């Protein structure tokens, strides 16, 4: 499967999708981004159970700012609407494959339970105790 280009309008639908989502934040002028692009494309072809997306930070500056992208390339991985991983800098083919393997092993039931527990604790503490 090839990569998809995301925009501010399509970003939330991609996060809400059924498949894990790996996003490459890049820019046309970025040398390391251009070097990483074939690695990302090859991984997209090998791992059809994962959605691979690209966000051009030049064209989507507001979205990049909202996600606090400070350097490129940056990789973000979402699964079941949860950001599981963020990394600045290019990855090698083997590093990306290893990361995808780890993504598949994450116990999302446990992740959602931990998030719910953190939210409950935060609501119990209230604004006066923060």
Which residues are marked as active site? 30, 33
**Structure token pair of residue 20:** 């894990």
Task: Point out which residues pair with 76 in neighbouring strands.
Answer: 23, 86
First-residue to last-residue Cα distance in the chain: 46
Q: Single out the residue of 52, 59, 61, 56 nearest to residue 27, CA to CA.
A: 56
């Amino acid at each position: 499967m090839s990569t998809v280009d995301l925009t501010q309008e399509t970003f939330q639908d991609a996060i809400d999708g059924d498949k894990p989502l790996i996003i490459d934040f890049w820019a046309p002028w970025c040398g390391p981004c251009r070097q990483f692009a074939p690695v990302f494309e090859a991984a997209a072809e090998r791992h059809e159970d994962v959605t691979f997306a690209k966000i051009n930070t030049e064209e989507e500056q507001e979205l990049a700012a909202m996600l606090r992208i400070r350097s490129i390339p940056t990789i973000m991985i979402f699964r079941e609407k949860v950001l599981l991983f963020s990394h600045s800098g290019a990855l090698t083919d083997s590093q990306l494959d290893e990361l995808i393997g780890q993504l598949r092993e994450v116990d999302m039931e446990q992740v959602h339970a931990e998030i719910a527990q953190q939210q409950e604790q935060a609501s119990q503490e209230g604004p006066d105790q923060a």
